[in-house]
Amino acid sequence: MPETRQQKELIKQIEAKRESRLLVYFTGDRQPFGARIAEDVVRPMYDHLLALEKLEPKRKKLDLFLYSRGGDVSIPWRLITMFRQVFDEFNVLVPYKAHSAATMISLGADKIVMGRKAELGPIDPTMVRGSIGDSTVPPPEISVEDVSSYISFIKERANINDQAALAQLVGMLSGNLTPLVLGSVNRQHSHIRLVARKLLASHKEKTDEEKLSSIIEALTEKMYSHGHAIGRKEAKEVGLPVEEPTQEIEKLIWQLFEEYEKELDLRNTIDPETELKGVEEKSYQDLPLAIIESSEKLHRFETQAIFRKKRNIPNNPQINVNLNLGLPQNMNQQQIPQQLQQAINQIMQQVMQTLPALVQQEIVRQSPVVGFEGRTFGGRWIEK
């Protein structure tokens, strides 16, 4: 990494204009290898906070520059309590996307500074736990609010109140979701509201109980699509403490966003069909997925990744190789020197050992491609 980064210069400019300390948390969403808010961010982020705390002049205000499509909803409360242990005031700067768990982090901010392109999102959690029905396919994501909405639909829209009919319809739900999944759904339903309330209540300026309930209801139940983008105007209408940046700050935070967008190459999707043209698989080394940065430190989350073709290979193909090689009719085996016979036999044995593998490779190569698969491994935060 170069010693002088444009990101560092922009961070210092924003700090000077806002009289704050700035911490960046940027999780890339480049397809198909995106990053999510996760527990492993807590430790390196604390190192940044300790470094910022020691700087002179002392500043009591922390700004978190945040870009993320979401992640683990148990992490926001841990981050917010950590921020407030070190700084008296905490704000979030949102240049563009701050969805799901990132929206929850924003709920814990005294002010949410939203640029013109800024987006928050609903905080209804999704789950991938347990098995669904008898399918052998990995279970899809389950929206906690979708399960609750199903019950509401039965009672309110379908107007079914007969206990026997209700039991039958709930039984249909249990037939598709395991009891453990339903139990987890119920816990998540309560947990997300509890955490959202605690985050909103952590503000320096306290919010009355009625307004807290209204905000939580709007972000969990009244946004009917998890992908709904909540812009600056709508966020204000919901009741969130939104602040519009000055033109100068607006320009700076968008420039900072563009620098990270280039660093993580977010605008160039990795297309497997193009990447695997003429090859069976391709690997990527030190692929950057996320960044934590302040004026004092830089951490990048880097991982290894691999793409490969998925082929429809016949089950247990029978490979029988029989090399019936004989000597020319006018040649007697006894006329061949013994050493040469031994050499020929060794070559034949090697051929017989390697030929089935070569045939298997050819079967794979000629089998039709039915898709692509990719995975990441060995990801970790690295201080640069």
Residues 264 and 350 in one domain: no
Looking at the fold, whether 80 and 46 belong to one and the same domain comes out as: yes
CATH no. for residue 67?
Answer: 3.90.226
User: What pLDDT shows up at residue 137?
Assistant: 40
Tell which residue, 51, 39, 111, 29, has the closest CA to residue 75.
39
- Regarding whether 355 and 325 lie in a shared domain, the answer is yes
Residue 156 in any domain: the answer is no
Question: What pLDDT score was predicted for residue 302?
Answer: 97
pLDDT at res. 191: 82
Whether 244 and 342 share a structural domain? no
* pLDDT of res. 282: 92
The pLDDT value recorded for residue 24 is 98
Short-list 195, 178, 167, 168, CA closest to 142: 178
> What is the predicted pLDDT for the residue at 17?
97
In terms of domains, do 253 and 332 share one? no
Residue stretches of the chain with pLDDT short of 50: 1-2, 129-139
Q: What is the pLDDT of residue 235?
A: 97
Pick from 354, 381, 384, 378: which is nearest to 40 by CA?
381
Is the pTM here over 0.85, yes or no?
Answer: no
Instruction: At 207, list the tokens.
Output: 């919010």
Domain total for the chain?
2
Query: Which structure tokens are listed for 371?
Result: 């898709």
* Phi (first) and psi of residue 366, to 5 degrees: -90, -5
pLDDT at position 257? 98
117 CB contacts (<8 Å, ≥6 apart)? 95, 96, 254
pLDDT of residue 258: 98
Domain membership of residue 355 as a residue range: 315-367
Residues 38 and 87 in one domain: yes
**pLDDT score, position 126:** 64
- Assess whether 13 and 115 both reside in one domain: yes
Examine the domain organization and report whether 14 and 67 are in the same domain.
Answer: yes
Residue 1 forms part of a structural domain = no
